[in-house]
Structure formats: C-alpha cells, structure tokens
Structure 1
Amino acid sequence: MMRRLANVAFALALALGTLSGADARADAPAKPAAARLDDEGIEKDVEALYAAGKYGEALAAAQRLVALREQKYGKEHAKTGSALSDLGGMYLATGDAPKAESLLRRAVEILEASKGSDDLLATALGNLGTMLKKKGDSKGAEKLYERAVALEEKGGAARESALGTVLANLAGLYMATGRLPQAEKVFLRAITIHEKAGPERSLLNDLGSLGALYRGMGRYDKAADQFNRALPLAARVHGTNHPDVGRLHHNIAVFLTGSNQKDLAAEHYRNAEAILTRTLGPRHPDLATVYSDWALLWARSDWKQAAGLYEKALDIEEQWLESALVGGTEEDKTLYATRLETLMDRVVSFEYGGDGRGRPEVMRIALGAVLRNKARVLEASAAHVGALRERMSPEDRTLLDELARVRGAYAAAMTRGPRGMTVAEHNAETDRLRAEADVIEARIAERSAGYRRGRAKVTIEAVAARIPKDAVLMEFVRYQPRSTHFYSAASERLGRPKYMVYVLWPDGRVWHHQMSVDAFEIDRKVDIIRKGLQDPSARPHETGTQLALLHDVLFGQVGAELGPVKHVLISPDAALALVPFGALIDRENKFLITKYSFTYLSTGRDLLRLGAGGGARRSAPLLVANPDYDAPGEAGATALPDAPKGSLPTIARVKFSPLPGTAEEADALRRLLPDPSVRLERVATETALKQASSPRILHVATHGFFLGSDGKAGQGKARGLELEVPPESLPQVASEVDGRKLPVPHPMFLSGIALAGANVRKGQADDGILTAYEASSLDLTGTELVVLSACETGLGERAGSEGVRGLRRALVLAGSETQVMSLWQVDDEATRDLMTTYYQKLFREGKGRAEAMRESQLALLGRPDHSHPYYWASFIVSGAWGPLEGVTPAKNEATSAVRGAVPPGGARGCGCEVAGRNEGTRVAWGGFAALVALAVARRMRGAHARGQGEARPRWIAVAPRVSPPAPPQPGSRPPVPRPAAP
C-alpha cells in the first residue's frame, strides 16, 4: 500500500508541475456586460462570466438582466423567471445564500405558473436544490434534483450537457449523505455524458468530485486516477485563475493528507488558498472549508499552525452564518442547525482528538466556537421580533398582530383536526395558514434586519466578564467525535456520540472534561431517572442510586474544580436540558441544591444579552388561574362541528379537570405583587394572554401538557391529562382518517397550556389551548419573570444544539427574561407551598430569581414528608437570575429556608390532578435521612467489594457494557477517591 501511495504522490507531483506551467497563459478578458443593451446578449454575458470564474461581474450582469426583463416582459413572465434563476445562482456562487434562496424560490414559482419551457424550470430547480443542500435540507434538495433530472431527460440530446450537470449535483448530495455506491453510479453517468457532450469544465468538476468520492471510499488508486486526469484538463480549460481549479487543489490536498503526504498536501492547500482568495475573495465559505481541512493536516504535528488555520475557518463561517440567519422563517433558520451541529462536532473533535488536547489555546478555540453557535437559531429568531418591537411603528404592530392571528388559526386547525371537512379540505386549510404564517415571518425578518444593532463578536472574555464572582458557567455540548485524518468517509465518525463540558470562570480560565460514558447511555439514564422522579412510590431507593451515579458521570470530575463556587450557570445540551441538576446526589451524599444555586441557560452567550432590558416598558403583573375549561373562551363564538368518526387529533381528545385551588394561589400571590391584573374562570382565556403587552410578571396556574412523539401524555402514575382514548392507541402524533395520516408537522404543537373553553373548543381563534407555537407570538418584551405553575411546561422535543422545542423556547422567542417551568407533573400542595414561598422571597426579601427558587425548594426538602425530589425539584429557573428590578433585599433576612416555618398554604401550584395520589406516596421516599443512609451503605459495600484503590464513576447492572473512564486531563486535578457502587 505505501509503495502504491508513493507512486500516486509522484504522479500527482508531475501533474502539479504541468498545471503550474500554465501560469503564463492569460485568461481571455470577458466582454463587459455594460456594453450589452439587449437581454439575450446580457444573458450570454452572464453565462460567459460565470464560466470564466468572474462571479462578481456575472452577478452585476445578472442584476441588469432581471431589471431589463421585468421592464420588457413583466414580473410574471417565464423569461423574468429564468433571469431570477440566473441571479439566484450568482448569489449562491458568491456565498450569499439568503439572497439566493428568495430569488430561486420566486423563479421556480414563476416558471411553474407561466408554463415556461422545461429546460428553464429544470435549471431553476437545480439551482434551488443546491441552495437547499447548502442550507442542510438534504431531503428537499433531493426532490428538486430528481425533478430537474426528469425534466432534462425529456429534452433529449439537446439537454444532455445540462442533464450531466444536475446528475453530478445529485451524486454530490448522495455523497454528502453517505450513499457512496449510489453516488459513484450517478457520477459515472454524468462523466459519460460530459465526455461526449461537454463542456470540458463540467467534466473537470465531475472528475474532481469522483476523486473525492473514491478517497472517501478508501479506493486511493482510483482517486489518484481521477485527480491525475483532472489536473492537466484544468490547465487547458482554466489555467490557474478559476475557482474550480482552487476546489480541485483542495480535493487533492485532502486526499494527500489522508495518505500522510504532508509536504505535497501543504503545497496543494497553498495553491487552493491563493486561487480561491484571488477569485472569490478572502471571506468566501469555500475558504473556510479549506482552512478547517488544512488545520487537520497539522493537528498531530504542529498544533499552533492548526489552531491558527482553524480560527480563520471559524471567523469566515461566523460571518457566513450571520448573514444566512438574517432572513426567512424560523423553520428556514432551523435547517441551519444541522450545519451548526456538524461545525461543533468538528471543532470539539479537533480540540479533543489531536495533540492540542489540554492546551489552553486550542481549548479556547473550541469553547469559543460552541459559545458562538450553540442555540444560534433560537437567538436569531428571537432577535428579529425583538428588534421590531424595540422600534415599533404602526406597520410593525399590524404585522405582529397579523402573525399572532394566523398562528392562532393555524394552531386551532391543527389541534381540532378535520372537523366538518374532508381530509383534503383540512390539508388545504392548514397548508394555506402555514404558508401565510411563513410569509409574515419572512417579512418580519426583512423589516427587523434594518433595525437590529450590529451583533458584537462573541468572545470568551466577553462572556466571562458577565459571570458573577461566586459563579461558573458550565457549557455542555453533545457531539459526534470525528477523525482528524482523511483515510475514508467511514472513519470520519469515530464511535458513539459523547458529552463534553467546558467550565468557564469569571477570570477567563477554562477547564474541560469529556464524559467517560457515551451520550446514548447518559440519555438512557436521564430517561430512567426522570421516570423515577415523577412517581415517589416507585422504587425510590433505585432512583436515589441513579441520581448519585448520574452525578458521578456529570459532576464527578468537575466538582473537584469548582472550589468555593455557589452559583452554577448551566447550559445543558440535548437530554441534559431535562435534568434537575439540583436533585443529583454528590459524593458527600447530599443533593447538589444544598451546595449550589442553579440557573439554566440556552447557551453561555445568553449572558451578553440578559439584563440589557433595564428600564423597558412594562405593564402590570398578570395572574391567570382557575380557568373554566367548559366555558367558551371567546364570546359569541360558534361551535365547531364534531370530528368525523375515526379522527384522533391528539390534543382534541384531551379533557381537562377543574382546578379551583389555583384561584387560591392567585389570591395569595396578588397580595405580594404590585397592582396585578387577575383573570379567573371564564376570563382566564387564551385571548387574555395574547392581548397582554409586556406584563412585568406573568403567572399562569393551570393544566400544562406535553405529548411525546409517540402520542403519549405524561409518564409514571401521575397524569395531568385525561385522554378519551388510551395513550397507547396513539402511536404517533397524527390524525387517522380514511386510512390517511395527517401528521402534526411541528413539535411546538405538542406542548402548551389549557385555558378557558379548552374542553369545548368553540372558538376559531381562541380555542382554549395555547400551544407553544402560539406562545412564541406573545408580547413579553421586557417581562422580567414568567412562571408557568403547571405540569410539564419545561418539556419539549429535543432539538440537538437548539435545546428543546416547546414552551421554554416559545417564551424566549416572545422576549421574556426569565422562565420558571416544570419538568414533570407536579404535586398540588407542594407546588402551592413552593410558589407562595417563592414570591415571598422575591418581593419581601429581595432575593434573586434563582436563589429564591433554591431557598423555596430547600424549604420543601426540609420537610420529611416532602424530601423526595418529586415534590421540590421539578421547577427550574431559566434565563436572568438576579433580583427583580426595583426590589431591594430586606434588612433582616429570614433564617435558613431549610429550618424555617412551613409556608402558608391555600393555593394549588399546578392543579394537575395526580391520579391515585394518597398519603402513602409522601412517605415512600423514607425521608432524606434514609436516602443518605442508602447512599452511604451503597458506597461502603462498593469499597468492601473492591478493597483498596481509587474510585471511578461507572454505571452498574443496568449498563453492563461501558467504556472505562478517561484518565485525568493534563493539568487537571485527579478525581476524588471514593468507593465504587456495588
């Protein structure tokens, strides 16, 4: 093998010399587009300039072509559509994806509506497919490419060259999605076409791509054959001044890196950099890819070189993403999340997998990338509406009101199902409403772009400066380890996903640790623990053991580094977003809440915006409680027809039981809040929430719900909802009518809260169900605190680096500073006491929003009959943690909440009925002392069984095959010795 690779290297060196010798050949200057006055001539100029790699000039010509054809033929003519397709393609080539997408979508619409020629439509579809591929929508891109192939095949010999081009694009998509044999077959077909029909520049691209494919398949001899054939062809077709030649050098450099030919690979990287910089400019996304791959060449030999190149790549990627996330709908932006996750996979693997591991400079590069890109789509979406509301004009207000109206109508249609209409009619209605909402969202993004202040660069230093002196930031990231070499595509993914945690101190110090147990195992344990926490009577001893073991994995190494820290700003990822960290049991057999106050963040980058709303306009606090679920939520509404037989729209089958105790909760809280507005019973409506404008505090005490993707509501014995059909009969979130499924396409419909009229659903806009999708349109700009005193309001569908998609995300999008929500179905009495104490500490003692919750939870923990985390650990505080504006701490602070008096009762916190609840469940935990005894005994038995030696955190029994823990990282403290669990 090594001899064969050496021969390959020698052959490539000869080809490189051939290409370098072509420098003396000057590219023929293109005819200036300005000299053309006819649209057909300008169109030819666009093609010629693009073929010559003069993308900037081609873009200018394409802009003139659109203007001329709109004037000559009108905006809806097929020729105008073709010109828009060309212009979109030029923006795509220059790296401006957002501008490209809107133009390409418009081009396809015009060409489809005007019945333009198949070849024009095929070109537009192919361009839009390439746009979607770059965006991360591989399924959408594949459908468009397939449509384009079918149209080009109809064109016969006259369209063969264009057919070859779209086939090559389709093959590239197969390659990117791991379908390598399929990609090879399609690439070979494209090459056959271009060998016969030309043009040679298309054949050149095909050969370079096929070489990259063979490299990915581990077929190095075939890869070398393609590259050696492509290099002299590039010299003949383009010389050295064309982006396609730069991309070819890049592909060859990657190939040589994988075959460990560093010097020759570096030469090709330098050529790629020079050519792409000269032809595309220094900030083009193609250069970011070159730099990140080039960094891997040095990852094991010169970490300083590698780090410098990676920083260049990340800077370019940052600029590209900033522009890409400016426009479009939230769903459009969400597609970019896949690209962001891949970026973080690579940068964390680069830092942890190479010889730079443990080096502060490399660690800081990785953390900086995570801080810039985690939950990036959430921030971008929230910024659009926030910018619009900051400088509200009458037109802006109308736009936001219209969005809220359309979202409400869409949500009502989705939750009620096809009542009184056929499946086709229901599909048409929901499609229309969703398209209408998308158009408004895009207009909001466009209008807000002019209002948004320039986004300051996110740096570790800037984030660290916002961390309190007694606190740390713990930034978790779930990532897929990837190879730092290029031997084959199959080897680029290394093993199973892992969790990494980066700890950042106020002085800018950074420490990291990779969990020794893989992410799938941790996620599975989180699910087991969550089930145990939701039912205090179900094997409480096992729950205590699992809480201690999860602590060992997540905090075992970190705890030794925290020292005197009192406040943990925790930015979880994936399943960890659903963990009540305060309920974990440490090595001293204490709940972590006794040591730390926890504040949840979407990302550490949140610290740069939290607290920036001081002095914002705010209205009076709003309390909504005790809704009359059987009363119409909208005056004068007409009843909707019943669903047809066999229809099972998930939320429409839910019945909510009365919660009169939540009125007592509101009565207790109204005496603590300054001049609150209180909405009870029939006026505790969805409309009341939608009409609220920046209430200082929003407290809602009602039923909450979360329906998993399996259609099930709740877990364990506690049920906040009563379904008319058993949950197991709803295998997926869908309506089943006449053998056809109406899927719920958006996870933001699966969680929400019930309000007046929820059981009768007689309103078209106010149906009594406020889904997370609708909640994101609430006006909570400047709202300091939102408390959803209900069940499961902190849950949602896991969305990778974007956290969970549910009410928590919706309230951030709506503009609220702090959210208090629950992770499971909560106990009536315990929640009543918790909420009353919480508001006393906020307004009478001036405690911070996070510390007030901690002390309130400790009060419940101190009561023997409520020591199980089920009673006190469900509610989490997310967002800003400090005291409410204008509230000062009391001069004589209360004694420790653990030893203080039991708070006054009278109000029900959640009100969700707990099925089968009885007094026996309260003492099932056996008190905190019993838990301590259990954990001590567990560890002592482990010590006796193992004898002398250092303890290592590990899973027992439930996970028989576990990777051994990683050794301590250079410069870190060794783990604290402790006995292993039995």
Structure 2
Amino acid sequence: MNYKSLFLPLVLSSLLLSDAVRATSKTQDLQIAQQPTPPDATRAAARQALLEGLELSYKQGTAESLRQAIAKWQIALPLWQKLGDKSYEALTLHLIGRVYSDLGEKQQALEFHNQALPLYRAVGDRSGEAITLNNIGAVYSDLGEKQQALEFYNQALPLFRAVGNRSGEAPTLNNIGGVYSALGEKQQALEFYNQALPLWRAVGDRAGVATTLNNIGLVYSDLGDKQKALSYYNQALPLRRAVGDRAGVATTLTSIGGVYSALGEKQQALEFYNQALPLFRAVGNRFGEATTLNNIALVYSDLEEKQQALSFLNQALPLYRAVGERAGEATTLNNIARVYSDLGEKQQALSFYNQALPLRRAVGDRSGEALTLFNIANVERDKGNLETALTQIEASIKIIEELRTKIDSQDLRTSYFATVQDYYQFYIDLLMQLHKKEPTKGYAAQALHISERSRARVLLELLTEANAKIRKGVDSKLLAQEQSLQEQIDAKDKLRRDLISKAAPATTIQKLEQEIANLLSQYQQLQTQIRTTSPKYAALKYPEPLKLAQIQQQLDANTVLLQYSLGKERSYLWVVTPNSLDSYELPPQAQIEKAANDFRQSLVTVSASGEQQAAAAKQLAQIILTPVANKLANKRLVIVADGALQNIPFAAITEPTAQESYQPLLINHEIVNLPSASTIAILRQETQKRPKAPKAIAILADPVYSADDSRVTGKPENNSITPELDLQRSALSRSARNLNRNGWDRLNGTREEAETILKLGSPKDSLAAFDFDANYDWVTNAKLNQYRIIHFATHGFADDVNPELSGIVLSLVDKQGKQQRGYLRLNDIFNLDFPADLIVLSACQTGQGREVQGEGLVGLTRGLMYAGSPRLVLSLWDVDDEGTKELMTQFYRQMWQEGKSPVAALRAAQLSLWQNPTWRKPLYWAAFTMQGEWR
C-alpha cells in the first residue's frame, strides 16, 4: 500500500495556521495511525514519532503537550534525513514551525518554516510550498510585519489556485483579509473575507466558515455597525461549538463581549469574557488569553474600577510580549496609559502612550496610531499644552481622513465616521479654547471648518456622484441584480408589515427581519460594486468641505447661518453672515438635548397646554438663541443643526427678544435647514446650469391601499366601522401608525388637498395621479422630469433602524384588488431622476431618519437631493390630515398667486395657520420644514 499518498495530503491539511483548519483536520490526521506499518524499520520509527507528535499536538493543545510534540518530531527529523525523504523532512520541519508559532516563539517558527520551503520546492510539492508560504505570512502578520505577510500570502494564493486546493485558498484569502483589516483597510478586508466564505462552504469546512464569519463581524464592529457584527458572531458561535473548536468558541465569545461593552451593557460583556478566558487557558492560547484580559480591563475601567483594570492589563502585557504580538502589546500599553490618565497621573500616562505609539507605527496599525495620537492630545490639553495637543490631534485626524477614503461602501464609510466623531469634537473644542486665549488668530474660523469636516460627508459625496451621473455605463447585469434585490426587499418588508398588523408570532417576524437584513447587506455590497465598477468612479474628485470665506460666499445680506456643534463638555454655535463670524460657547450636549426633546414632546402631545408649549419653547430659546439674539434682526435663518436639534422645528421656538409669553420665531424669520453648510454649494453647482423644467406640477394623492377599498371593482363600501373607529378616522394622520389590521387607512384629505392645489394652477401645466393611477409605475416614469414641482400626498413612514426601508405609500393594489408593488423606498428614490425645483412630501415623518453621528438624519432627504431636487418640504412628525390639507393649500396659493419663493411661501402658509384659532397649535403647522436652497 502506498501509505505516503494517503499520509502527506492529510497531514498537510493541518498545516495552515488556522484553528479552523486544524480542528477539522484532526480526525483525518489521526486516521493515518490505522494504516499498515511500512516494512523499513527506520521509516517505521520515523512515522511512529511523527504520529505521536501529531497526537500530542492535538492533546488539549497545552503548552506542555505542544513541547512534547516538538520533542517527538525532533526524533523523526534526522530519521527522514537519513532516509533522504525530503517530503517528510519538509513536513516535519513545518510541523515544528507551526507549533513554535502557537507557542509564541515566532523567530523559531520562521527558522523551521524557512528550512521546509526549499525542500517542498525541490520535490515539486506546490501544495506544501503554498502552505509554507501561507504560514510564514501568518508568522510575519503576528509579528506586526503586515506588508511582509502580504507578500507571502500573495505568493501562496496563486499556487493554491494552480493545484485546485480550495482548502488552502480559503484560509489564505481569510488571512489576507486579516492583514487588510489590521491595516485599517476594512473594505479590502471584507472583499477577501467574502471570497473566502463560499470556498469554505464548498469544501464543507464549518470551522473555516465560522472563522471568516467571525472576522466579518470584527470588521463591522470596527466600523461601528455593532448589530450587524453581532449577527455574524451569532452565526459563527454554534458552528465553532459543533466542530469542537474551543479556541474559536472563546474568540467568538470575546467578540460578542466586545459588542455588548460598546453598547454599554458592561455586565453582559463581562459574562462573555469570563466564559472565554478559561477556554483560552485550557488550550494554551496565550494571545486569546491576553486579548480577553485586556477587554475585561476595559470594562472595569469604564465601571470606574481603575485599579482592577490595571491588574488585568498588567496580566495581559507579558502574555502579548511572550508570543511576540506587538499590536496587542501596543493596545495594552495604550490602555494602561488611559487608566493612568483617568487617575490624574498624566505624566505616567504620557510615558505609556509614548511606548505604544512606535509599536503602532511598526506594525502598521493606522487606526491604533490615530487613537494613541488622540489620547496624547487629550493628555497634553489637560496639562495646558494646547498647541502641542493641536499638533497631535491634527496628525490623528489626517489618518482618520485617509482611512475613511479607503472604504468604498457608503454605508460602512458612514458607520466608520460615526465611530471617530469624538476626535472631531475634541478638535473643535481645542480650537475654540485656543480662540478664547487668542481671539485674533483665526481659531474660530478653523473650528467652523472642522465642524463642516465632521458632518454630512457621505451626503456631499453622494451629491457629487449624482452630479457626475456615476451610474451611467454600469454593467446592465449589476443593475438587473439591483432591481431584483429591491423587489425582494420590498416584498419581504411588505409581508413583515402585514404580519405586524395582524399580530403574528414574534418568532415569525424575527425570522423575516433576519431575511430582510441579509438582503439589505447584499444590496449594500452590490451598491458598492456598482459604484466602484462605474467608468466614472475612478476619475471622480470629491469636494472638500467649505471654509469660512467659501461659506460666506453662499450667503446674502439678508441671510444668517447658525451652525451648531454639540459636545459632551461644551457646545458651540457659529453665526455667519457674508462679512462676519461670531462664535459662542453653549452648555453641554445633554442639557441642550433635554430641552430640545422636551420642546418637541410638548409640540406633538395633543393634550399639552399652550402654557406648557410656551415654557418649553422659551427654555430652549434661552439656551440656543438668546446668546445671539442681537444678531438675528428679522433675517432669514439657515440652520445647520446637530444632535436632537435636527428633530425640532426652529420656526416654533420662541423669538428670544419677544415680550409675549410665546411668539414663534416664524413671525420674524424665514427658516431653512441644511445638513451642512457645504451642502448648499454642491446643490447650487449641480443646478446652476440646469434648464428649468417646462411644466408646473406633478401631484400624486389618495392611493388605494387595500382590496377592501370601495374603489376596487366589485367591492361594496365597507360599512363595518364602529363609532370609535369613525372618531379615530376623523383625526387621521398620514403616518405609519395608521397601518392597522385592515391595512392603511384612506386619507380623504389628500385628494381634497391635491384638487385644491391643481385649481390654483393651469391644467395644461399639471399632471395628476389619483386612486389606482397613484402607483409605483407613475412615480418611476421618466416623464416626471418635465415638472418643476413634484408633490406627494399620502402616507409616509420612517424606519430608524434600516433607513433604506423608509418611504412613502403608493397604491398597493390594482383595480381588481390584486397586490402590487406600492412602497417607494429610499433605495428606489436613489435610482430616480427628479430634477425638480421642489419636492413636497405631504406625509408623516418624511424629514425623519436614523440619527448617525457625523452624518445627521439618514433618511429620505438625501435620496431626494440625490435624485436631483435642490429644495424639499418634509415633515418632522405625524401630521394631521385636515391640517396638512389647509397648510398645503396656503403654501401653493402664496407661491403661485402671491409670487413668493418656496421658503417665503411656507412661512406665510404657517403664519396663516398660526393666526387661525382652529390650527393655531404648532402641532398642525410646525412639522413641515424647508431643506436646501432658499434662493
């Protein structure tokens, strides 16, 4: 029997430096012990020593058993050399190298791998050569030599492919992904992980699948998407348990603990870390043990148990050093420094940060380098060295800016940017403290620029891509995939909403939500592929956020910009006119946001009294407007809000100089909102040369939501309406809350609103869609680009978990009552061409979205601006059907009969309701805000 043909491939499968591969190879390796003993006594002895070493290397995986394995292989090695069997000599050398690497003795590992490599080449064993190259790469990666590691991985990969070894190709792709992740190039990492995953699955390697799932989770966690990270970890964990991969189980438990810690659930995090720690110790995985100790320390530090934190960190540090893990060593030094800083021992903290920084640089950990520079800047500021702190934070921000540009996915770029907002807030605060010391040095203007750099960057980039028509020339197959995914997402989310309305079991809904999440993830990946394969993408140049002089050029003499930046310790307000800049220090974010939330709550609570609303409006005005009251003087106010201020209508805040108990800001000011000051420059650049559309208005209203609607052929009027339901419907809002067991309630006011608006204009310049015509096909028809105004009067809904699912409701059934696609979602809107001067969403919550630090409210606003409109009218809460009809009628009358600009017309319409006792409450008129261009 040719035992060599059986033995070598099986043992080689265990050589890749991956716990996943080793776990699945164990059974195969040990099966060789059952093969007949070869007749040659020397060969038999060598083989026996090799097998005993393999047994020991799998026995518990402890340091003692690993060293015993090496001793056995050291017996086998000279025997193979005596026999002149280079294949087995190479194999034995490689096994020794692998175990030395596991023991943290990396230089020893390299020595043995480098002896094995030429032997594999000499016998023409390309699989063995590829595995050795991969494992040398892994040693260099562990030593922090990431570029060196990449070189070896990139030599191994084509060899694996050449011999058709997918079991080797998958871990190499996974390892390359790990290098890119460590270098901060998370998008690149994801691409390699997503190549590895189907290969693992194809070869039936569940442990490998789990390893890559865990690594994908780590990327999402690093980029700030903790829930998505948790989803991947929860897929990895049962796989690792099923294959008995204890080190893998411990790794995933630690990863899950990290998510809970980041979400503020510290005790939950400790539970997972304390499950992981004994597992790492049991298998002798010192790297995993050190990482878990480090993470436990961070929890204790956050719980203000600083000495306990130091104790764990001081256990982790020698373990990292013992295994030559410089990246982990740097992280631990950084964390020790942070604890000393919290304890007030600033000089001691600096000493540890200055030990961590060169290590971060040596291993190419750009993200870690940025963090340590940020931490040094904090210490220097606390010591009063503001200029030194400025140098450090500037260096840190430079790295952050470089890293974000390497993320092609807009969603991941957004979530990553949210994780580094503390850096920008610190930078702004530092500049404003320097401004306080030296007010003539231009620090306030620089702080305003940094405020611009910290907000709505992805929106700016999206608008630039829209202007460049980046989707033109994209592979039609990708666009077809996109359309298919959109339809699947729409269908499943519609089913989810139906199940919710019918009180279906929670488990059924949760399963559907997971399917939707998976589809959304595929959609995001496809969007990135569409963008990056666009012929125009490579040449695209994104704009820089505006500086003071450029912002001032966007303003006119009658306009004042108010830009807010909310910080934990102090907040700031910049007041900009065409020829001036004034800045003000405001209270901490928590105080401002409480006042803003109280004010909003008073507006949307039907039972709130006028006195309660007036008190809440006055309290907020005193905090955010009274300091600048003398700068406003009947000017148009352009608001760049931050945090909870994005959710409130400035028009309803009390005028800070008013003598009355409540005089809304609306009375003396036109008010416009912007995601950032830089946004208006991009919008103007996009529209300045665009010809005006020839026709006036396209309007959609009163869609058919249900097969029970009397408008459906052959359906009688539904008279089974209880008095309670009738009373409820008399005060309908255009809201997702009107999704009930019978579907969406019909909004009669939307038809009346639309018919009244159409009477104010010329029929030949108008296009209307009512009833069944108010459908998805009408909205997505290219003929809408002929109209200056596009108006939707229907239900709207905001999804603050998955903003992509936000949208407006169109006709959900056809004339026969058959269901059809009827939700126009954010993803759909991104694919529309709406070069209208104005888009009005006369529906609920259309100005809402998920609040993302650094990006603002992610919702319909960005989609509609991307589609081509420079100005939008949107709502901040559930609007009343009758009140909205009245407001919109007045709005169009002011525009078309009085000749006012949209922003002036909206103010006049809101004033008319304010002056009418029936509609005087801000609940009826304040929800709608103007976003974008005011000229």
TM value normalised by structure 2: 0.71
Range with greater deviation from structure 2 (441-450 or 147-156): 147-156
Deviations 1:607-634 (A, max 9, x none): 341212133477654412454637989x
Once superposed, what is the RMSD of the aligned Cα atoms? 4.7
Aligned residue runs from structure 1 range 230-629, under 5 A:
238=324, 242-280=326-364, 284-300=366-382, 301-324=384-407, 326-327=408-409, 330=411, 335-336=415-416, 338-340=418-420, 343=423, 367-379=448-460, 388-389=469-470, 391-392=472-473, 395=476, 398=480, 402=484, 405-406=487-488, 408-417=490-499, 435-436=518-519, 438-449=521-532, 450=534, 451-452=536-537, 453-461=540-548, 464-470=551-557, 471-481=559-569, 501-507=573-579, 509-515=581-587, 518-519=591-592, 521-531=594-604, 539-560=609-630, 562-563=631-632, 566-586=635-655, 587-589=657-659, 590-614=663-687, 615-616=689-690, 620-621=694-695, 622-627=697-702, 629=704
Classify 1:125/1:510 alpha carbon distance in 2 versus 1 (closer, same or farther; 3 Å): farther
CA separation in 2, counterparts of 1:611 and 1:778?
21
CA separation in 1, counterparts of 2:379 and 2:675?
34
Matched to 2:839, the amino acid is V
Q: Secondary structure at the match of 1:371?
A: helix
CA separation in 1, counterparts of 2:754 and 2:580?
48
CA separation in 2, counterparts of 1:256 and 1:85?
37
Q: Secondary structure at the match of 1:683?
A: coil
Q: Paired residue for 2:808?
A: 752
Classify 1:173/1:253 alpha carbon distance in 2 versus 1 (closer, same or farther; 3 Å): same
Q: Paired residue for 1:834?
A: 890
CA separation in 2, counterparts of 1:761 and 1:313?
59
Q: Secondary structure at the match of 2:624?
A: helix
Classify 1:435/1:531 alpha carbon distance in 2 versus 1 (closer, same or farther; 3 Å): closer
Matched to 1:853, the amino acid is L
| Cα distance, 1:297 vs structure 2 | 0.6
Do 1:388 and 1:447's aligned partners in 2 also have CA atoms closer than 8 Å?
A: no
Out of 671, 676, 688, the residue aligned to residue 778 of structure 2 is 688
Gapped regions of structure 1 (runs ≥ 5): 1-24, 482-497, 643-647, 710-744, 883-982
Matched to 1:290, the amino acid is T
Deviations 1:689-727 (A, max 9, x none): 122354442332533345899xxxxxxxxxxxxxxxxxx
| Cα distance, 1:294 vs structure 2 | 0.7
Matched to 1:559, the amino acid is A
Do 1:462 and 1:608's aligned partners in 2 also have CA atoms closer than 8 Å?
A: no
Rg larger in structure: 2
1:821 aligns to 2:866 (yes or no): no
CA separation in 2, counterparts of 1:415 and 1:154?
35
Classify 1:150/1:810 alpha carbon distance in 2 versus 1 (closer, same or farther; 3 Å): same
Q: Paired residue for 2:143?
A: 52
Classify 1:117/1:807 alpha carbon distance in 2 versus 1 (closer, same or farther; 3 Å): closer
Do 1:472 and 1:565's aligned partners in 2 also have CA atoms closer than 8 Å?
A: no
CA separation in 2, counterparts of 1:372 and 1:664?
45
Do 2:797 and 2:845's aligned partners in 1 also have CA atoms closer than 8 Å?
A: yes
Q: Secondary structure at the match of 2:819?
A: coil
Do 2:699 and 2:792's aligned partners in 1 also have CA atoms closer than 8 Å?
A: yes
Q: Paired residue for 1:85?
A: 174
Range with greater deviation from structure 2 (42-51 or 650-659): 650-659
Q: Secondary structure at the match of 1:299?
A: helix
CA separation in 1, counterparts of 2:464 and 2:403?
17
Q: Secondary structure at the match of 2:699?
A: strand
TM value normalised by structure 1: 0.68
Classify 1:863/1:47 alpha carbon distance in 2 versus 1 (closer, same or farther; 3 Å): closer
Deviations 1:235-271 (A, max 9, x none): 66549xx434433432333233233333343333333
CA separation in 2, counterparts of 1:290 and 1:345?
16
Matched to 1:556, the amino acid is T
| Cα distance, 1:92 vs structure 2 | 0.7
CA separation in 2, counterparts of 1:323 and 1:426?
36
Do 2:320 and 2:329's aligned partners in 1 also have CA atoms closer than 8 Å?
A: yes
Gapped regions of structure 2 (runs ≥ 5): 1-106, 719-737
1:40 aligns to 2:131 (yes or no): yes
Out of 765, 785, 788, the residue aligned to residue 841 of structure 2 is 788
| Cα distance, 1:404 vs structure 2 | 5.4
Deviations 1:872-893 (A, max 9, x none): 54432101222xxxxxxxxxxx
CA separation in 2, counterparts of 1:630 and 1:165?
49
Deviations 1:328-360 (A, max 9, x none): 6x4x56644652555556556767899979977
Q: Paired residue for 2:56?
A: none
Do 1:569 and 1:600's aligned partners in 2 also have CA atoms closer than 8 Å?
A: yes
Classify 1:637/1:262 alpha carbon distance in 2 versus 1 (closer, same or farther; 3 Å): farther
1:699 aligns to 2:782 (yes or no): no
Do 2:841 and 2:874's aligned partners in 1 also have CA atoms closer than 8 Å?
A: yes
Q: Secondary structure at the match of 2:357?
A: helix
Out of 216, 220, 224, the residue aligned to residue 128 of structure 1 is 216
CA separation in 2, counterparts of 1:505 and 1:364?
13
Do 1:750 and 1:806's aligned partners in 2 also have CA atoms closer than 8 Å?
A: yes
Do 2:713 and 2:817's aligned partners in 1 also have CA atoms closer than 8 Å?
A: no
Q: Secondary structure at the match of 2:684?
A: coil
CA separation in 2, counterparts of 1:116 and 1:877?
55
Classify 1:504/1:293 alpha carbon distance in 2 versus 1 (closer, same or farther; 3 Å): farther
| Cα distance, 1:365 vs structure 2 | 6.2
Q: Paired residue for 2:904?
A: 851
CA separation in 2, counterparts of 1:543 and 1:421?
36
Do 2:214 and 2:252's aligned partners in 1 also have CA atoms closer than 8 Å?
A: yes
Do 1:752 and 1:807's aligned partners in 2 also have CA atoms closer than 8 Å?
A: no
| Cα distance, 1:305 vs structure 2 | 1.4
Out of 113, 138, 152, the residue aligned to residue 226 of structure 2 is 138
Q: Secondary structure at the match of 2:839?
A: strand
Bigger relative CO (Cα 8 Å, ≥ 6 apart) = 1
If each structure's helix is expressed as a fraction of its own residues, which one has the higher value?
Answer: 2
Do 1:303 and 1:355's aligned partners in 2 also have CA atoms closer than 8 Å?
A: no
| Cα distance, 1:86 vs structure 2 | 1.5
CA separation in 2, counterparts of 1:150 and 1:101?
22
Q: Paired residue for 1:656?
A: 746
CA separation in 2, counterparts of 1:402 and 1:433?
14
Matched to 2:551, the amino acid is A
